[in-house]
Amino acid sequence: MHPIFHSESKPFVIAGPCSVESRKQLHDCVTSLETAAPVDMVRCGIWKPRTRPGGFEGLGEPALSWVDELHERHPSLRFCCEVARPEHVELCLNHHIDAVWIGARTSGNPFSVGELAQALRGSSLAVMVKNPIAADVSLWQGAIERVLQAGVSDVAAIHRGFHLYHDGVPYRNKPLWEVPVELRRRMPDLPLLCDPSHMGGHRRYLEALMLTAADLGYDGYMIEVHPHPAEALTDREQQIDATGLRHLLERLALHRQEGDADIRLNILRQQIDAIDERLIQAMGDRMEISRKIAQMKQACHMAAYQPQRWEALMRERIAAARAAGLDAGFMRTLYETIHAESIRIQEDIMNNKQ
């Protein structure tokens, strides 16, 4: 374990706001953390690369001066932020930043990582490398190796999940736990942290993701904490307050000490709840399409019930169910119920009842 990422007998915890929004917000966040949930390092988003332009992209260098103020008041506190350009590294070195992380949008680009590694050469900054957006363990490993080859002694990996287009998973970024497990097999001495905030995309998933990471032997966590999450300018749904963090860490400690069966059962139930939410949303989307189909059938003087289409659909769905290991009878009953509701909606529209 590298020195800066080592925490005696407990996970290494990094927490703080997704973005630094104001001097007061940052000071309030640090004060609440010190009171409710002391952490090993404070994260603070100085620069915020957004997927699309137009959103809040951080305050940049002025926010670093507020970090300096906090360091003077709390000299034992350590701070970290994301860097994407060599000039970001230079600014961090001129202020009280102890560690930086290379984000998912940057770690997948060897040219960008190479430039950052060169800027980090000879510095005292610790570096964390988030997994690339793509689920490519070699690309992630390569980014880490570039940082190590620059002579950085304190390096860690952060698992924040992978983006898959319409993957049917409730999380913002799919965990794909096998990828960080393989990274650990290749680099067994590298500290591995979990970022459940970006992985889940909503605070409701934090506990389940953190407990899974604990079971897999992760060394720590990076969690987004805001003094008033509902007012956050970025990623408000995935942020929690310091009291919420304390409760999470208490549950995690219980899990680590006792391996509580109720906690494990709760993880599975949370996963079922999340899947049910997606099922309900998908069903609503399906019935909305049925309404549009009814309007087209009405305009073309077609009947709501189309036997040939129904029989072909059933054959396809039952074949798909068997391939997925599902019972054909269950799938037939399920689709007969869905089809009956779809026909009811269509007939109501075609008879001008909706």
Q: CB neighbours of 216 closer than 8 A, spacing ≥ 6?
A: 177, 180, 181
Domain 3-259, CATH: 3.20.20.70
Domain 270-350, CATH: 1.20.59.10
Mean pLDDT for the chain overall? 91
Q: What is the structure's pLDDT at 349?
A: 92
CA pair distance 196, 173, nearest whole angstrom: 9
17 touches 45 (CB < 8 A): yes
Model confidence over 254-308: pLDDT tens digits? 877 665 566 567 667 777 887 888 899 899 999 999 999 999 999 999 999 999 9
In this prediction the pTM is: 0.74
CB atoms within 10 A of CB 18: 24
Provide the pLDDT confidence category of residue 173 given band limits of 50, 70 and 90.
Answer: very high
Q: What is the structure's pLDDT at 218?
A: 93
Inform me whether the pLDDT recorded for 110 exceeds 50: yes
Q: What is the structure's pLDDT at 133?
A: 95
For residue 325, what are its two tokens? 């290991």
Provide the pLDDT confidence category of residue 37 given band limits of 50, 70 and 90.
Answer: confident
Task: Give 49 or 200, the one with higher predicted confidence.
Answer: 200
For residue 288, what are its two tokens? 């909305």
Q: What is the structure's pLDDT at 276?
A: 87
CA pair distance 149, 142, nearest whole angstrom: 10
Each domain of the chain, given as residue ranges in start order, spans 3-259, 270-350
Q: What is the structure's pLDDT at 259?
A: 58
Q: What is the structure's pLDDT at 1?
A: 42
Model confidence over 311-352: pLDDT tens digits? 999 999 999 999 999 999 999 999 999 999 999 999 999 988
Q: What is the structure's pLDDT at 167?
A: 58
Q: What is the structure's pLDDT at 273?
A: 80
* Whole-number percent of the chain with pLDDT over 90: 77
